[in-house]
Amino acid sequence: MLTVAAALFGLGLWGALGQQSIVMLLMGIELMVNGIMLAGAGLWAYAAGGDPKGQLLVVIAMAVMAVEMAVGLAVVVAVYRVRQVDMTEGLDSLAR
């Protein structure tokens, strides 16, 4: 499980650092966080002997990450509507 978590984190890091699209950057960050949550669940199951409290914490973290991604995508849509920019290098600042 930790190997899959490390692979998810590495793939997300590559996606976040290698892409210029804002949406792809957000997807890379989401993969990194999912890898961290999977590693946390795996370590919790290994250390606590399968205690469901760790699984509940991961489910709550997934819900929080879903809300965070929705807000991030809303910000990307708002920036695109105002500036017609969808690449990171097109954003010099967030001020108009």
Q: Is 95 helix (H, G, I), strand (E, B) or coil?
A: coil
Q: What's the rounded Cα separation, in Å, for the pair 38 and 25?
A: 20
Residue-wise DSSP of 19-78: --BHHHHHHHHHHHHHHHHHHHHHHHHHHHTS-HHHHHHHHHHHHHHHHHHHHHHHHHHH
Domain 2-90 has CATH 1.10.260.40: no
- 25-47 residue pLDDT tens: 888 999 999 999 889 888 888 88
- 78-93 residue pLDDT tens: 888 887 777 766 666 6
Domain-by-domain residue ranges, the chain?
Answer: 2-90
